[in-house]
Amino acid sequence: MKARNFALILFGAVLMLIMGSGQAPIRTAQAAAVQAAMPGIEYWRTGYTVEGALMGSSLPGRVIDPVASFRSYRGVSDIYYYLAAPAGVTWVKAAHIYLLDRTGTFSGTANLTLEIRTMGGSLHQQVSIGSIDIQILPTGSWHALALDKEIDHQQIDPGELLAFHVSFQPEPAGDLTVHSIFDVMVSPYLHIFVPLITH
Amino acid sequence: MKKMRILVLSLAIVGIALFLSISLVNQARAVKPALPLSPANGESWRTGVTVVNDPIYSLLDGRSLADNAIFRSAQAADYYYIFPAAANSKTIQSAQFYVLNRGGSYAGNVELTLKVYNFSGSLLRTVTSSPVNLKTAVLNAWINIPLSASPGNLVVNPGEFLAFNVYLDLGLGGSLDIRLLFEVQVD
């Protein structure tokens, strides 16, 4: 009787082992399917420079290019480099800036922030913590912007745009010109899920 | 005697089960590489900016991005179709081009190569294994470009950018007009 019980328990355990191992390829395939289907991460590197306030109706016809120009002598205190306007909720995961060159001078402050703005141009959230002084930021290397950890501050809603904003204070003057490029990592997911696939 | 038979039967079942489970695990391992795994940071680059003569990145300021490039032999002997630069290292997985249209003529060779430059325009690496002859490339079909066998040549680092270079070996002249599309897969 004891031997029969032992055999039954053993048989059950073995059956579970077989079923468990049979799931392995299914789990792997599911994980792969999730990863392949997930829109995941996007990188935004192109936009357009707007000198002064943005009006939604002034978007058409603007040239999208990979280089932003911030000039202190254009008669406006605020210059923006606008990136794409997503149709769905999108979260900013990382942002980098690279100054290609800097010429001329400006006696005031020229600070850059990353912001979420409405189509009408008004500020909704500031994504970056503090600001970057583009008059002293080293040229010729990528720099990561410190992002606000508050979820609301990373969230771009439909009808909003992401913008790098340089403010020349107290007023536009001098002959400073800064050419910069950007790389922003965004995702339609608040938390980026990368399935764990075991070998 | 009966107990002994049950025990032997149990051991036989255990043996078969272990064999099956090991082979299933091996199957799972064998299947995995064939699955369409898409790296989380994979990208397809299809838009760029065309510049002539020097691939200096700041020349892109104010120039419009386009999903096609036009090369005219009468205009310049060196063309560059530049992709926006990335802040992180990228590895090129594949590169393709598509000849939309080709008209006119040019006496020399017209070579297409994929290269990596720094922002000042200095050539760092050649990604393609050999130049493609655009005068004889098939029209209206995506054509895969052979990549360098050296993995180090397929990397684009921060501070660098990727560009297709069209080079006319006899200098500018003639009336050749070629319009192309490009696609580069990077991880």
pLDDT by 10-residue block (mean), chain B, 187 residues: 63 59 46 39 91 95 93 96 97 97 96 98 98 96 97 98 97 96 96
Using the Cβ of B140 and the Cβ atoms of chain A, whether some distance falls under 8 Å is answered with: no
Helix (H) or strand (E) holding B29: helix B2-31
Q: Which residue has the tokens 């040239």?
A: A63
Residue A19 banded pLDDT, cuts 50, 70, 90: very low
pLDDT tens for A167-183 read 999 999 999 999 999 99
- Mean pLDDT over A128-143 rounds to 97
* CATH fold label, A42-187: Jelly Rolls (2.60.120)
Shortest alpha-carbon distance between residue B67 and chain A (Å): 12
Contacts of B117 (CB under 8 A, 6+ apart): B55, B57, B123, B124, B160, B161, B163
What is the predicted pLDDT for the residue at A195?
52
C-beta separation of B111 from B48 below 8 A: no
Torsion sign (Cα): B113, B147, B136, B71: negative
Q: How many Å is the Cα radius of gyration of chain B?
A: 26
Q: Measuring CA to CA, which residue among B19, B13, B28, B21 is closest to residue A20?
A: B21
| Partner-chain contact A4 B6, CB within 8 Å | yes
pLDDT tens for A24-53 read 443 344 444 334 334 579 999 999 999 998
Check whether A193 has a pLDDT greater than 60: no
Q: Which of A7, A65, A192 sits opposite B61 (nearest CB)?
A: A65
What is the predicted pLDDT for the residue at A21?
45
What is the predicted pLDDT for the residue at A63?
85
pTM for the model stands at 0.76
On the 0-12 / 13-18 / 19+ scale of CB atoms within 10 A, A18 is middle
What is the predicted pLDDT for the residue at A119?
87
* CB within 8 Å of chain B, chain A residues 30-89: 32, 35-36, 38, 40-41, 43, 45-46, 63-67, 69
What is the predicted pLDDT for the residue at A189?
83
Mean pLDDT of all residues belonging to chain A: 83
List of chain B residues whose C-beta atoms are within 8 Å of the C-beta of residue A9: none
The partner residues of B185 in beta bridges, in order of sequence, read: B44, B94
Q: Report the residue of chain A nearest B1, measured CA to CA.
A: A3
C-beta separation of A107 from A174 below 8 A: yes
Compute the C-alpha angle A79/A132/A145, nearest 5°: 105
Compute the C-alpha angle A53/B57/A171, nearest 5°: 30
Please provide the size of chain A in residues.
199
The partner residues of B133 in beta bridges, in order of sequence, read: B111
C-beta separation of A101 from B57 below 8 A: no
C-beta separation of A65 from B64 below 8 A: yes
Q: Report the residue of chain B nearest A4, measured CA to CA.
A: B6
- CB-defined contacts A:B, below 8 A: 127
What is the predicted pLDDT for the residue at A57?
67
A54 φ, ψ to 5°?
-90, 135
Check whether A114 has a pLDDT greater than 50: yes
Q: Which residue has the tokens 């760092």?
A: B124
Residue A190 banded pLDDT, cuts 50, 70, 90: confident
Q: Which of A64, A69, A199 sits opposite B61 (nearest CB)?
A: A69
What is the predicted pLDDT for the residue at A111?
98
What is the predicted pLDDT for the residue at B34?
35
What is the predicted pLDDT for the residue at A97?
98
| Partner-chain contact A67 B61, CB within 8 Å | yes
Please provide the size of chain B in residues.
187
Shortest alpha-carbon distance between residue B120 and chain A (Å): 9
- Mean pLDDT over A90-96 rounds to 96
A174 φ, ψ to 5°?
70, -160
Torsion sign (Cα): B102, B106, B108, B114: negative
What ipTM score was computed for the predicted complex, to two decimals? Answer: 0.72
The three-class DSSP label of residue B98 is: strand
Shortest alpha-carbon distance between residue A67 and chain B (Å): 5
What is the predicted pLDDT for the residue at A15?
52
Shortest alpha-carbon distance between residue A195 and chain B (Å): 10
Q: Report the residue of chain A nearest B14, measured CA to CA.
A: A14
C-beta separation of B87 from A95 below 8 A: no
User: Which of B26, B31, B37, B56 best tests the A interface by mutation, with the highest count of A CBs <10 A?
Assistant: B37
A171 φ, ψ to 5°?
-160, 160
Shortest alpha-carbon distance between residue B115 and chain A (Å): 19
Domain boundaries, chain A: 1-38, 42-187
The three-class DSSP label of residue B160 is: strand
A15 φ, ψ to 5°?
-60, -45
